[in-house]
Amino acid sequence: GEDVEQSLFLSVREGDSSVINCTYTDSSSTYLYWYKQEPGAGLQLLTYIFSNMDMKQDQRLTVLLNKKDKHLSLRIADTQTGDSAIYFCAEGSNGGSQGNLIFGKGTKLSVKP
C-alpha cells in the first residue's frame, strides 16, 4: 500500500543547514509536498515539487527528488530558531484519489541557538 516514511527528529544549530528526508512508495505520485506545522497550529504548505522535476529551489528551501529511489529531501539553508516546527512530507496523485494526500509521521526540527 501507499506509505510515506520520515525520521521523527532532527536537531541542528542556528545557522547550519537542515536536511529532512522522506521516502514514499507510490510510484504514481504526481506531486510531493512539504508542510510545516508550528506548535498549536494547523499545517501550512511550504513547497511542492512535480514528479518530473529533480530539484526545486525557493529562497532558503531546496527540494530534491530522486524518483528512481522514491526519495525526497528538504534542505533549509541558514536554519533559524523560527524554523523549529514539525515538517510533514506528503504525496498526492491526480485523478481517482481526488486530491487525498498521504502524509508521513512528521519530522520534528529543533534549532538550538
Partner 1 sequence: NAGVTQTPKFQVLKTGQSMTLQCAQDMNHEYMSWYRQDPGMGLRLIHYSVGAGITDQGEVPNGYNVSRSTTEDFPLRLLSAAPSQTSVYFCASSDSGDSYNEQFFGPGTRLTVL
Does position 107 interact with partner 1 (CB under 8 A)? The reply is no
Min dist CB 11 to partner 1, Å, is: 17
Min dist CB 89 to partner 1, Å, is: 9
Closer residue to partner 1, CB minimum distance, 17 or 27: 27
The CB-side HSE value for 32 (13 A sphere, CA atoms) comes to 31
Residue with cell 530534491: 64
Does position 104 interact with partner 1 (CB under 8 A)? The reply is yes
Helix, strand, coil share of the chain (percent; to 5): 5, 55, 40
Does position 19 interact with partner 1 (CB under 8 A)? The reply is no
Min dist CB 37 to partner 1, Å, is: 9
Compute CA distances 110 → 11, 69, 91, whole Å. 5, 27, 24
Contact between residue 42 and residue 51 where contact means Cβ atoms under 8 Å apart: no
Min dist CB 13 to partner 1, Å, is: 25
Report 61-100 residues binding partner 1 (CB under 8 A): 88, 90, 92-94, 97-100
> For the chain, first and last CA: distance in Å?
41
Q: Which residues bind partner 1 (CB under 8 A)?
A: 4, 8, 30-31, 40-45, 48, 50, 88, 90, 92-94, 97-106
